Amino acid sequence: MAKTILNGLLATATAVGLSFPSIASAQSLDEVMEARGLTQQDLLAAAKTYTPTGGRDEFIVFSSGGQSGQIMVYGVPSMRILKYVSVFTPEPWQGYGFDEESKAVLEQGRIDGKLLNWGDTHHPAISETDGDLDGEWLFINDKSAPRIGLVSLHDFETQQIVVNPIMQSEHGGAFVTPNTDYIIEATQYPAPLGRGFAPLSEFNEKYRGAVTYWKFDREAGRIDQSKSFSLELPPYSQDLSDAGKLVSDGWSFTNSFCAERYVGGIESGRPPFEAGCSQNDTDYLHVINWEKAVGVYEAGKVEMINDHPVIMMDTAIEEGLVYLIAEPKSPHGVDVSPDGEYIVVGGKLDTHASVYSFSKIMAAVEAGNFSGTDPYGIPIISMEDALHVQVALGLGPLHNQFDSKECVIYTSLYVDSQVAKWDYCEGKLLDKISIHYNIGHLVAMEGESVHPAGKYLISLNKLAIDRFNPVGPLHPQNHQLIDISGDKMELLYDMPVPLGEPHYAAAIAAEKLKPLVRYRYGTNSRTGGKHEGAVRPGQERIERDGDTVTVYMTAIRSHFTPEIVEVNEGDTVRFVVTNSERAEDETHGFSISTFDVNLSLEPGKTATAEIVADRPGVYSYYCTEFCSALHLEMTGYLVVKPEGYVEEATVGEEGTLWTEADYKKQVETNVQTQGVIDSVVVYITSRNFQDFPEVVALVEDATDQLTFAEDAKAKSEAAATESDWQNATLWAGQWWQYQVKAADIGLRAKNFLDEEGAVVTAE
Ligand code: K7E
Ligand code: CUA
């Protein structure tokens, strides 16, 4: 076995560095087109999306995962899925909900004492600086239970969940203000504020909507609930929101449906909600001066509901914080143009998109030019006074996204299954493209920022029907990539997504994201701070405190320290495990048979698996990531001794006893291996490796491994001087294990230098 691996290493070492000329494919492009029935157009689309091995994408998309409670991350234009970030739902691979640190995050999402393991993610928002996406943080709402999740874009992990103290359901979040001072969250279905009871017969009097402004403390990297407040709104079903920007900064916009305040009851013979809620020709766009509202909140003009400050409607009206504008029947999206002047609303049940002018709205507010008030006394600005232009686009206009080209906007048409490209300044239709089928949201690159990036648009479809190989009655979702760089939109690619309904997505230039390669040693990734249980190699220990046993453990290729943990039946056992690797992508896992735990330990991370050892037995634990050639050997035993068990003084017998000859043979192998390592070291150090941070990191890691090798070598030699051939051989074996890891890393570094064209700087 040892010999085989060594030969392999030697072979790789010689092969690396030799480059073979690429052999041309036997087939020509024409033959492939013919054989696969592809058109010129198909080839063009393929060339625009194909990303060769090792290639990177220009944009990164964060898509809501709907009923999965997650976020999906993928690249554009390749449409390759890179990650699922779990927010409201456990995710086993990444240990989310299977380690204590992430359970603490899910715990924050408890509502009225109840732990929820399901969420319906709808609208992600990337943090902004001066209205541009800055790639630091991501917020997403849960429509089903009124919650907002916060994801760090340094490690793509969920770090906080906040529960809305007054809402029963929500939809119009998460939308950020241009400097991420606040995250906006608006209700969906009206209910008594504070989630109490009131009979439906008192709907008009006791039921309410609301919008919450969550304060974001960027320095702390947390939503600060103690500086957040809400505004009471009428019991219309508030829908989507958007924050004003530039000229309209300081204002926010939330539309609504069911301004009829209709309550269904199909079972008692009343027409259903869908009929009663779409009877009127108009609903209301709420126009809110949040900046002024902050002052009103700080002046204490609030009522406390569930310990949360709420500016009640009377105060809001008196202080001039809220206005309504009639908008066409059951609208859906509301989106503010990059310059902040226009607010575009999709009609949904109306064929028009309506463009409101912020300066016209302000003129009406300043002149006190209102057409009346709603039943709660909120001033209504007439549609004519606020409207810039209305354009008939087609059936079911829903959501809008902006292009980098001035005045160009894209609107999804749900019923028509089309995207309309139009000019919102002039009010004219420019182009249409059919999608398959029934588009909901759409996302253009940085299309909601003050500087949209254009280039691509993605249609987030509600149905796939016949687009993919059938996989049973539940079809995958379909994200369709569209090229918007030219005058005509061109469909490029269909991406099936087996995750959950995509609602909204946010797309950012990849270069703006600065994710970590490894954690600072001993990081609790869910707080971002140092883990109090982190230990360095050599500090591992097992501590007992009453019935609680804490195992301070490290993980490195390819062993845990300690490897045997003995406890008593009934003990609570906490395994606090730190991955002491530095090498990029050297993640270890940790699971204990039948205890329903899994840790994902990326380099530098510390996480905890806590179990109650309630059944006597012997439970193996092992690393769940294939991390090295001896990954299967990365294991240990949790021994749970039955109550009253008395240990007998016996000595375990080894399976094999090693001799001096075995020791010498192993040492010989090690000397040869060292020869390979030395040659790789010469290769690397004679080149400008310092110019490549990736290689510097690999070299540091290899140096670590060689230090461990030295330590094992010393132990083996000490045993040999005492003629303890058993331990001498085994420690020589461990010495070799560290050498193999160092050689593996060294070859990776050498390979990298070859590919990147490093130059010889020394002989
Ligand atoms: Cu599905 Cu934004 Cu919740 Cu529209 S939403 S489609
Ligand atoms: Cu560590 Cu497998």
Residue burial 87-108, b: 16+ Cβ < 10 Å; e: rest: bbbbbeebbbbbbbbbbebbee
Which atom of ligand 1 is found nearest the CA of 412? 6
Which atom of ligand 1 is found nearest the CA of 332? 4
Give the residue from 512, 539, 569 where a domain finishes.
Answer: 512
Closest C-alpha residue for ligand 2 atom 1: 588
Report the chain (763 residues): mean pLDDT per 10 consecutive residues.
Answer: 49 44 65 94 97 96 97 98 97 97 98 95 98 98 97 98 97 96 97 96 97 98 98 96 98 95 91 89 94 98 98 98 92 95 91 96 98 97 96 95 98 96 97 96 97 98 95 96 98 96 96 96 97 93 98 95 97 97 93 98 98 98 94 96 87 83 95 93 91 87 89 95 94 93 87 88 70
Structural domain contains residue 655: no
Q: Helix-strand-coil percent breakdown of the chain, rounded to 5?
A: 25, 35, 40
**Any residues with Cβ below 6 Å from ligand 1, and which?**
122-123, 171, 240, 332, 398-399, 440-441, 503-504
Which atom of ligand 2 is found nearest the CA of 558? 1
Q: How far is the CA of 417 from the centre of ligand 1 (A)?
A: 15
Give the residue from 648, 682, 711 where a domain finishes.
Answer: 648
Structural domain of residue 529, as residue ranges? 87-113+516-648
| Residue 310 sits in the same domain as residue 449 | yes
Task: Determine the 3-state secondary structure of 643 from DSSP.
Answer: coil
Any idea which ligand is nearest the CA of 186?
1
Q: How far is the CA of 358 from the centre of ligand 1 (A)?
A: 24
- Spatial strand order in the sheet of 303-305: 175-176, 182-186, 209-217, 222-233, 308-311, 303-305
| Residue 476 sits in the same domain as residue 621 | no
Closest C-alpha residue for ligand 1 atom 5: 503
**First CA to last CA distance, the chain:** 35
Q: How far is the CA of 122 from the centre of ligand 1 (A)?
A: 7
Q: Torsion angle, CA of 385/389/393/394, rounded to 10 degrees?
A: 20
Structural domain contains residue 135: yes
Structural domain contains residue 387: yes
List beta partners, residue 346: 353
Q: How far is the CA of 133 from the centre of ligand 1 (A)?
A: 21
Residue-wise pLDDT tens digits, 551-595: 999 999 889 999 999 999 999 999 999 999 988 899 999 999 999
CATH code of residue 551: 2.60.40.420
Measuring CA to CA, how many Å separate 499 from each of 24, 68, 390, 474?
38, 6, 36, 11
Q: How far is the CA of 626 from the centre of ligand 2 (A)?
A: 5
Which atom of ligand 2 is found nearest the CA of 586? 1
| Residue 633 sits in the same domain as residue 701 | no
| Residue 453 sits in the same domain as residue 567 | no
Q: How far apart are CA 6 and CA 673, in angstroms?
A: 7
- What pLDDT score was predicted for residue 23? 45
- What pLDDT score was predicted for residue 70? 98
Q: How far is the CA of 414 from the centre of ligand 1 (A)?
A: 11
Total number of domains constituting the chain: 4
Residue-wise pLDDT tens digits, 287-343: 999 999 999 999 999 999 999 999 999 999 999 999 999 998 888 989 999 999 999
Structural domain contains residue 654: no
Give the residue from 512, 532, 557 where a domain finishes.
Answer: 512
| DSSP class per residue in 19-39 | -PPPPPPSS-HHHHHHHHT--
CATH code of residue 198: 2.130.10.10
| Residue 709 sits in the same domain as residue 687 | yes
Closest C-alpha residue for ligand 1 atom 1: 503
Structural domain contains residue 763: no
- What pLDDT score was predicted for residue 102? 98
Cis ω on the peptide bond leading into residue 437 (within 30° of 0)? yes
Structural domain contains residue 621: yes
| Residue 230 sits in the same domain as residue 328 | yes
660-685 vs 693-721: helix axis angle to the nearest 10?
160
Any idea which ligand is nearest the CA of 741?
2
